Structure 1
């Protein structure tokens, strides 16, 4: 039986996915801090914000930060686990 490597190895896959979730957790904290700061700055500039504007900041800024973190995290997960190298290129 061939030796498993990267994400094919259940122990390493569990470790890699735990690291990915930890990175996303830290980025969620960064997103919350950024959103709070953005709302405070917008309130200083424009006065009291309506709930629609606050939801727009949460969805726009928070969604962008978390989407970028998720995609970059998957790139690093794939590259760091050796999963990219395990792909068989027929050419």
Structure 2
């Protein structure tokens, strides 16, 4: 199903997604808001290097999980059960 959705994406859709994801004013988050965040990246994630700069500036108290040896969404795809258990534990804390 996801593959079929990707096949339908137009250049206009991509422009809209990029605009929505990249044109905003980030402000530092309070410790309370940071405590509610779960940020996870694969070590080979395409935007990890840039994102690390944002973490340090805007979310210094968020514990970012970086999965060694994985690309974007790679860990959750390879270890779905374990990933869901970790998220459930995070949500219930």
TM range (shorter): under 0.3
Find the structure with the greater CA-based Rg: 1
Q: Specify which structure has the bigger relative contact order, considering alpha-carbon pairs within 8 angstroms and separated by 6 or more residues.
A: 1
More strand per residue: 2
Using structure 2 for the length normalisation, give the TM-score: 0.27
More helix per residue: 1
